[in-house]
Amino acid sequence: MNSSPALLSPVDGRGRPYGTAHDAERDLGIDLSPHAFVEEEYFLSGTAGTWDSAEPGSPERGRSALAYRTRVLVRRPARAVLASGTTHVEPLHPHLDAGLSWSALAPHFLRRGDAWVGVTVFPQVAGLMRERIDPARYGSLIVPGGGTEWDVFSDALTAIRRGDIPGLVASRVVISGWSATGSFCRVFAREGFATARGGLADAVAIFISSGGAGSAGYPALSSASTPIATDDPRRTIRDVGLPTFEILSETESETHRRQLRDDSDDPGDTYRLYQIAGSAHIEDWPSAAPTHEPALRASGVDLPPIAVREKRTDARTDLVARALVDRLVETLDGRTPPRGPRFAYAEGDVPERRMLRRDPDGNVAGGIRPPWITAPLAAYSPHGTPAEAASAGPDWTPLADPDLAAGLVGTMTAFPSSEVERRYASEQDYRARFTAATRDLVTAGFLLAEDAAELDSSAAPRWADATGCEPGDA
């Protein structure tokens, strides 16, 4: 699966990279300097081929010698002595070219000294960067797409493995993706790209991507390839040769039932499935403050917010995700990761949105149960419905359809005040139960001790929101 050697060169341009970690003018993102981290951007140039689907793990070469020039965004400790040696690499998402692993996990990376690398692999947003966002900086970008993305991403990983990026310590490489890029990572691992060229990655994390979600769950290797059948066995992660975690919200779990398999500690097939109760495909996290939208608006691209009728979820799946990434990295040190409880599925032939069994509160049964489910004030749903004023975004983004986009948004329905009063003697009673549930999550290995205080601090505003009382009111 080799292509011609790729060349890496620093981006020689003024200003900030598109999607920079920190936009000081608007106070968006995370300032890296207090954490002794630096941000750098490179061009990666080479030739790539396309791939066609064949037998699982044995894709066939299609076209070859297609020139590309993409960008590689690096955030790393400023000094090697501060580096953990773990580097997280993700294909940047076709929506905004965003690094969703960075958005969810950045505080974890910064305190651990883990580096992060994002690679632009999808042509639509690369074309937007080249033509409208910053032609002076990105005018030379050529991202062909059409099945070349596997080689482009492989070339970036090869450059990282070779030590081509100055100052980047990458003794262990973890690839990850969310939603569309989670599906990308599923295919990259299942088709053998991750273990090609002497081993491009050491572990794989697939977030909020269902293997059963049609072409979205297992994209064809190229536009010319036959789509993967819904019952194709490669949709189930198996025998990847690397420790692989699938971390799913309720949304993806609805369509993932056929792809369920047992966890495994077998050599070459280390696998875990983690399903998080009260979670959804799209949530609003305080740490997720992307800097892409100002640049898009300045270039004339309108990205309307996803508007739903219901109250949006207050879930913090990002905090659970940080712990699960820690568990994945620990497998590389020989530690056995915990097994998570699975969701309970409904019996018989039921619609997808009724696939998961619900408890009397309306919350999902089973799964990893975070404090907002163990000490609930609301019923959580993995779906919303579009508000009347909802509008569609540009057709190049996966969230262009307002119905589709709203259906991915987590929502919540507050318990009646009488139910809150029946369950909890006081705010102090509620907060004590919430804190106890937080500690249980830490003990089980599904929350980091460093994040427990942040989760506990959300109990007071949750109570105030549910009761209309200010924290501390009688």
pLDDT digits (tens, 9 = 90+) for 230-275: 999 999 999 999 999 999 999 999 999 999 999 999 999 999 999 9
Q: Which residues contact 34 (CB under 8 A, 6 or more apart)?
A: none
Q: What is the CATH architecture of 7-331?
A: 3-Layer(aba) Sandwich (3.40)
What percentage of the chain reaches a pLDDT higher than 90? 82
Which pLDDT value is given to residue 288?
Answer: 65
Consecutive 10-residue runs of the chain (474 residues): their mean pLDDT? 72 89 92 97 96 84 92 98 98 94 96 98 95 95 95 97 96 98 98 96 98 96 90 96 98 98 97 98 84 89 88 97 98 97 94 94 98 98 89 73 92 97 97 98 98 97 90 56
Please tell me the pTM assigned to this model. Answer: 0.96
- Answer left, alpha or beta for residue 362, where phi above 0 means left and psi between -120 and 50 means alpha: left
As given in the structure block, the two tokens for residue 412 are: 């919540």
Which pLDDT value is given to residue 471?
Answer: 60
Rounded CA separation 462/449 (Å): 21
121 within 8 A of 91, measured Cβ to Cβ: yes
- If residue 367 lies in a helix (H) or strand (E), which one and from where to where? none
Q: Is 447 exposed, middle or buried (0-12, 13-18, 19+ CB in 10 A)?
A: buried
31 within 8 A of 61, measured Cβ to Cβ: no
Which pLDDT value is given to residue 473?
Answer: 58
One-letter amino acid of 92 = L
52 DSSP 8-state letter? E
How remote is the C-alpha of 300 from its chain's centroid? Answer: 27
Rounded CA separation 371/445 (Å): 14
SS3 at position 252: helix
Rounded CA separation 89/181 (Å): 11
Rounded CA separation 407/219 (Å): 21
Strands 7-10 and 115-119: unpaired
Which pLDDT value is given to residue 301?
Answer: 86
SS3 at position 35: helix
Which pLDDT value is given to residue 54?
Answer: 81
pLDDT in tens, 313-323: 999 999 999 99
Place of tokens 């991507």: 209
Rounded CA separation 274/255 (Å): 15
Place of tokens 């036959």: 226
Closest CA to 222 of 53, 397, 396, 69: 53
What stretch(es) of the chain map to CATH 3.40.50.1820? 7-331
Question: What angle, 0 to 180 degrees and rounded to 10, lies between the N-to-C axes of helices 427-444 and 449-456?
Answer: 160
SS3 at position 412: strand
As given in the structure block, the two tokens for residue 261 are: 């398999």
Which pLDDT value is given to residue 91?
Answer: 98
Rounded CA separation 347/118 (Å): 41
Closest CA to 205 of 100, 342, 73, 95: 100
pLDDT in tens, 34-79: 999 999 999 999 999 999 888 777 888 888 889 999 999 999 999 9
